Structure 1
Amino acid sequence: MDAPLQRCSWRGMAGDPLYEAYHDIEWGTPEYDSRALWEKLVLDGFQAGLAWITILRKRQAFRSAFDNFDPEKVARYGDADRARLMADAGIIRSNAKIDAAIAGAKIFLEMRDRGEDFSEFCWSFTGGKPLQNAWTEAGQPPAQTELAVEVSKALKAKGFKFVGPVIVYAWMQAVGIVNDHLTCCFRYEPVKAMAR
């Protein structure tokens, strides 16, 4: 009989198929698509004060509610869209977070229109390559780092909201800017090998 996969020891993940699939397939995989990077940043902003599994369980509803996070569409949202989103029980209903997502779409497009690619901006802080940490125990990865503080300040300077250093570090881990899989995790080496 095959031994069970050794994963990062996230609280509440063991036995949850959705959470395990997210860890096994997506988390930490380097993401270079600008739209996908922005979507994940928005979702991490919605997570503020909540557990990530809450957002993960609502992710499909978020994608439906926010037109698959198409910045062109979200940037045009007006009062009717805001009211629709606030009435949508499938997502996190927060005026501030919804407003931040809409404003973030506008900033994303402004950057693009100035010739500044969102993906290039995000990856510029690490020279386009994921940082490879080598944590051996669950308690070792920090909640934030000096780099997360720097990225947070840069995002805030552009006008993004809900991008404090803790949120930004969680996002950096999720999109593979940082490889924070534990070294004992079966995903550590494959994710490490994905570095450009």
Structure 2
Amino acid sequence: MKTCLWPGDNQLMRAYHDQEWCVPNHDDQYIFEMLTLEGAQSGLSWSIVLAKREGYKKAFHNFELEYCSSLTDEDLETIKERGYIIKHLAKLQSVRDNAKAILRIQEEFGSFANYLWRYVDFKPLINQWDTDAQIPAETALSKQISKDLKKRGFKFVGPVTMYSFMQAIGIIDDHVRTCPYHTSNR
């Protein structure tokens, strides 16, 4: 079977593709991790972000929401200077802001997963692409989620980032049809 081409020969990208990408996930801590990493990717390649993933986990205590929501500006500066992460202060500040926003959503919806998955009636959207080139960068749904998250105070959640995020947590399965990891082939 022909697999998706985008991971190339990069081992981290291949492992992410094979084990995580487009796999439905409802764990708020993991979802927060993916939101953080997708936001960090803005303007960069996914391979750079994956190479720094362990640094992010260490810096943000494995994406523990309460910890991240309580970070001070000084804490974020220290993380910026010492951490093996992308040293973009606004992206680092978004980790704190987004953690706070997720905690508010959890109060309203019971979980961040509930909030997100309700957009697709709690069932993943399974696409049937023949080539990687057919996969869109954004959709009406990613624009809708982006708009609502921004209203709720989230940062680095533009429509393109949200589309990648939906793939990351399995709301969308965008493996090409011939990929052994496509839902219909598992």
The answer on 1:55 being equivalent to 2:55 is no
Kept in 1, the 8 Å contact 2:29–2:64? The answer is yes
Q: Report the residue type matching 2:2 in the other structure.
A: Q
The one-letter amino acid paired with 2:183 is E
1:176 to 150, 155, 170: 170
Task: Give the letter aligned to residue 165 of structure 1.
Answer: P
- Could you tell me which of 59, 64, 85 is aligned with 1:91? 85
Letter paired with 1:17 = Q
**Structure 1 gap segments, 5+ residues each:** none
Shift of 1:164: 0.4
TM-score (norm 1): 0.90
Are positions 1:28 and 2:22 aligned together?
Answer: yes
How big is the alpha-carbon RMSD for the aligned residues of Structure 1 and Structure 2? 1.5
How far apart are 1:53 and its partner, in Å?
0.7
Q: Kindly tell me: are residues 156 and 67 of structure 1, through their superposed partners in 2, closer, same or farther at Cα, counting changes over 3 Å?
A: same
Question: Unaligned regions of 5+ residues in structure 2, if any?
Answer: none
The CA distance in 2 between the partners of 1:65 and 1:89, in whole Å, is 6
Report the equivalent of 1:149: 143
Within the candidate set 100, 103, 111, 1:106 is matched to 100
| Distance apart, 1:116 and its partner CA | 3.7
% same residue: 37
Deviation sequence 1:114-144 (CA, Å, 0-9, x none): 4542100010100000001100012101000
- The answer to whether the 8 A contact 2:25-2:169 is kept is yes
Asked if 1:122 corresponds to 2:116, the answer is yes
For the pair shown, which has the larger CA radius of gyration, 1 or 2? 1
Instruction: State the SS of the aligned residue for 2:134.
Output: coil
Looking at structure 1, the residues matched to 121 and 107 of structure 2 have their Cα atoms a distance apart, in angstroms, of 23
The offset of 1:148, in angstroms, is 0.6
TM-score calculated relative to the size of structure 2: 0.94
Q: Is this contact kept in 1: 2:126–2:183, CA < 8 A?
A: no
Distance in 2, matches of 1:41 and 1:182, equals 23
Matched residues in 1 for 2:174 and 2:91: separation?
A: 27
